[in-house]
Amino acid sequence: MPYDRRDIIKTAGTVGVAGLFSGPGAASTNRTVDPQLDTTGGVQEVLVVFYRRENVDTLDQFDLVDGYHAFSALPIAYARMTGEQIDRVSSFSTVASVEANRDIEYYNQDAREVTGAEAVQTTGRRYSGESVHAAVIDSGVDGSHPDFSNGLRANYQFANPLDSDDSLWTDVGPANTGGTGHGTHVSGSVTGEGSASDGQHRGMAPDADLTVYALGGGILLNVVGAYDHMIELQREGRHDIQVVNNSYGPISGNDADYSPSAALNVATYEAFREGIVPVFSAGNGGPGTNTLSNYGKAPHVLASAATDDAREVTDFSSRGRDPGNYDGDDPDYKTNYDRRTAFENQEVFKRQTDVDNLEPASGEQEETGTLAPGGSTIVGPDTGQSDFYDLTPEATADGGATPGFVRAQLTWDRPTDDLDLFLRQGGEDGDAVASSTQGTGNTTEMVIAALDLDSEYVLEADPFRSTGVSYTLTWQYFEPPETSRPYGVYRPSA
């Protein structure tokens, strides 16, 4: 059976549900595919969003022009794929969305007086940002500027993982990564010490620590990569960032509905779960309604409008949906005013990837077998013979139940043997839409994935390295969860 193991990532467990992707227009009718992508065209840069990071290694079976980059903390991969490959991977039940690596544009910040920095630092509690660590994702920063002499903790510069052997992010310390100067300006507004201006241009939180991610020209890949790196270090305890500033937005598409499956929305949600509050600019598309930055519609982020000296929203600041759209009986409009409704709906959407929250749709089925000696190697021929088992979800489901998910587990006794478990769609030679490939030393593999009941599925017990080992394979079907729209908030937070 065809399966390319040259770049295999040995990980564990998979899960997936039906995809969701919204947007204006459509080059593709597949709802998981970004409408900016052409599924009949040539090579295009994409971000493939999976429901769990363990699914990413299913990209090994594609003949990709430059391979792919799997992010460390996020269930996302970056690749250059043809239209046919985009269409193929988007059909996987473990893929949430396939998104174009689009450009972004930077938004301006207001001055010290307008933001109220002076009042915050001189009245009441005299807040200065002490004990806070803020991140800024922007064009970069002049690391040698005297206003950052005490607070700059990291100044990360990006390298494209498909074009360079360097690390994705390198801390370049006092180097000037500022590019247009936008990021230096924004960083100064947040944590600038005011040393170069005798305090006149001191930022909102001059005693806060600062980490900067330099995007350069600004594309979605860099932004998602910044979040991935920031979340990874947060989980490892190497920094404790509480807030991240994002003064940029998409160049187009702000009239599209919010999608919890879009790459950056997945990234900001995972950051939120790690205690990092993402703050976005509302955008510069006003004064018309329905112009709010698509990145600021997530219920787990704050989106701030621009104001003038009188604390009134400026004409250029983007707006949400027309307030006249509100209808208390229509949940698609209620979220314009109710962040909790949108957040709870999104939480349901996220929880549906956890099989522990699903209702069984059948009893557990079991098969046993023995795999002959042999196996696959990183290079060279595949000498192992797999065992295949047809799935019949509708025939074996309990009466009236809908078998929308399957959980399968492969176990064996000898940790020196290495077995892999695949869920293939379309028969024995079909695509591996889910896989579990943990490697030698493990004696259990598990996959969890959504099922398209119009498709044929088989489970494959594959000997990556077998000395002749007996195994047990069990599987069970589960009901799909119910999710409800809307998921986004279509108004600024402030």
Q: Tens digit of pLDDT for each residue in 161-182?
A: 998 877 899 999 999 997 778 8
Domain range summary for the chain, segments of one domain joined by +: 104-351, 359-478
Q: Spell out the alpha helix ranges (H) of 157-313.
A: 182-191, 220-235, 263-273
3-state class (DSSP) for residue 390: strand
Task: Give the torsion sign (CA, 184, 312, 265, 81).
Answer: negative
DSSP 301-365: SEEE--B-TTSPBPSSS---S-GGG--TT-HHHHTTT-HHHHHHHHHHHHHTT-GGGSPB-S--E
In whole angstroms, give the CA distance from residue 391 to residue 404. 12
3-state class (DSSP) for residue 136: strand
- Give the DSSP H/E element, type plus range, for residue 105: strand 104-106
Residue pointed to by tokens 């307030």: 323
Q: Comparing C-alpha atoms, which of 93, 66, 74, 95 is closest to residue 7?
A: 66
- Tally helices (H) and strands (E) across the chain: 9, 22
DSSP 222-234: HHHHHHHHHHHHH
In whole angstroms, give the CA distance from residue 202 to residue 191. 8
Q: What pLDDT is stored for residue 404 in this prediction? A: 84
Q: What pLDDT is stored for residue 10 in this prediction? A: 25
Q: State the helix-helix crossing angle for 220-235 and 263-273, rounded to 10 degrees.
A: 20
pLDDT tens string 206-261: 888 999 999 987 899 999 999 999 999 999 999 999 999 999 999 888 888 888 89
Residue pointed to by tokens 């494209």: 160
Q: Comparing C-alpha atoms, which of 105, 70, 86, 77 is closest to residue 28?
A: 86
- Which strands sit side by side in the sheet containing 44-50, from one edge to the other? 68-70, 76-81, 44-50, 95-100
**Fold for the domain defined by 359-478:** Jelly Rolls (2.60.120)
Q: What pLDDT is stored for residue 223 in this prediction? A: 96
CATH topology agreement for domains 104-351 and 359-478: no
Residue 55 CB partners (closer than 8 Å, separation 6+):
14, 15, 16, 75, 92, 94, 95, 434, 435
Q: Comparing C-alpha atoms, which of 488, 50, 413 is closest to residue 266?
A: 50
Number of Cβ within 10 Å of residue 225's Cβ equals 29
> 423-443: buried (b, 16+ CB within 10 Å) or exposed (e) per residue?
bbbeeeebbbbbbbbbeeebb
Paired tokens of 142: 């002049």
* CATH 3.40.50.720 at 104-351, yes or no: no
Helix-, strand-, coil-residue percentages of the chain, each rounded to 5: 20, 25, 55
Q: What pLDDT is stored for residue 327 in this prediction? A: 55
Residues of the chain where predicted confidence (pLDDT) is lower than 50: 1-30, 109-113, 335, 377-381, 494
In whole angstroms, give the CA distance from residue 410 to residue 472. 6
Q: Comparing C-alpha atoms, which of 8, 18, 3 is closest to residue 454?
A: 18
4 close to 439: Cβ distance less than 8 angstroms: no
pLDDT tens string 406-420: 999 999 999 999 999
Q: Comparing C-alpha atoms, which of 352, 91, 100 is closest to residue 219?
A: 100
Q: What pLDDT is stored for residue 381 in this prediction? A: 47
In whole angstroms, give the CA distance from residue 49 to residue 26. 19
